[in-house]
Amino acid sequence: RGIARGSCGCSPTAARSTTEFHCHMSFLTILGTAAVVSAAIFMELIACLAFPVESGTEWLLLLLLVPLVLAAIPLLLLRACAGDSLFSDTPKGRHWAEFGFAFFATGIIGVPSLLLLRGLIRWEAFALALGGLALPAITAALSRVCQRADSDPFSYR
């Protein structure tokens, strides 16, 4: 007289709640990612509009939206195209994805620095533009630390 078990070896009620938990966590992950990306883009737009310059060149910071959006593409392609290989530990093209991300990230940092040095934007706009980069970077780093802590409970003790 066996009791029906879920795929994780637990009771059907516990399996259903585990599935619902994973569904909620993936929804929260997507929602959190969307919120961070939206906040970063909003910070870039505010940096353009909130701190006007006499020469009227504050719109130049809108150029940051191009590398900000393009920086994620190599990493997304790597995740989407990484196949399972029996003989390699790292996916093909990983170095190209890292190079592409680093190239666009350098543009995100370099463009406001050059505009500030030329006197085309103010310090406040520069700080807000770099804050738009720091927000997703810090969020990604914290997410990575939390993933490692969840996978190995003894790794940070």
Q: Residue 92 contacts by C-beta under 8 Å, 6 or more apart in sequence?
A: 82, 83, 85
For every residue of 112-145, DSSP letters joined together read: HHHHHHTTSS-HHHHHHHHHHHHHHHHHHHHHHH
Q: Look at residue 117 in the predicted model and tell me its pLDDT.
A: 92
Residue 95 has pLDDT above 80, yes or no: yes
Per-residue pLDDT band at 2 (split at 50, 70, 90): very low
Per-residue pLDDT band at 127 (split at 50, 70, 90): very high
Cα 47 to Cα 156: distance, rounded to the nearest angstrom? 38
Average pLDDT over residues 128-140: 89
Nearest to 49 by CA among 136, 121, 132: 121
DSSP letter, residue 82: P
